[in-house]
Amino acid sequence: MNHEILFDADVEVPEGLTGRMEEVIFAALEAEGVELPCEINVLLTDDEGIHQVNLDMREVDRPTDVLSFPMFELEPGAPPQGEEYLDPATELCPLGDMCISLERAESQAAEFGHSLEREVCYLTVHSVLHLLGYDHLDEGPMKAQMRAREEAILGTLGITRE
């Protein structure tokens, strides 16, 4: 599929990380049955940068690890279909934007005892699923459904918790 992933960074990004993120994004879109060519914008930043995005976009005055801004209100397991989802100028489905704090990801990777790459891959698949309508507002079935999809997708790429 000819998806277009547009990366922007205001921090130093380890070599190969965006390639790995792109691999995760493509795998998530395929696993979720997305057949339209999509565009996703990705901002890699630090805690200060994501704090500002969180404040500007959500009026939440604190940093976080990942933010997702879906373009459409989709239902889990029901990806966008049909030409009405395509931008006529690009012929791509503008799925949405994600913002990841590499500073927070590094801290969480150390806390959980795995690599920065594994943590960023997890945050990436988490964000893609948000763009596709998944959520975890409850601590029950919605969260369990999302976690199961995250682990399944990462598992196909050999990215495990170990």
Task: Locate the DSSP E strands across the chain.
Answer: 4-9, 38-45, 66-70, 93-101
Amino acid 118: pLDDT: 95
Distance CA(64)–CA(131), nearest Å, equals 17
Give the domains, in start order, of the chain with CATH numbers.
Answer: 4-156 (3.40.390.30)
Sheet of 38-45, strand order: 4-9, 38-45, 93-101, 66-70
Q: Which amino acid is at 92?
A: L
Residues of the chain above pLDDT 70, percent:
96
Kindly report, residue by residue over 7-48, the tens digit of the pLDDT. Answer: 999 999 999 999 999 999 999 999 999 999 999 999 999 999
Which of the four pLDDT bands, split at 50, 70 and 90, describes residue 71?
Answer: very high
**Residues 62-78, mean pLDDT to the nearest whole number:** 95
The answer on pLDDT for 145 being more than 90 is no
Number of other CB atoms surrounding residue 10 within 10 Å: 11
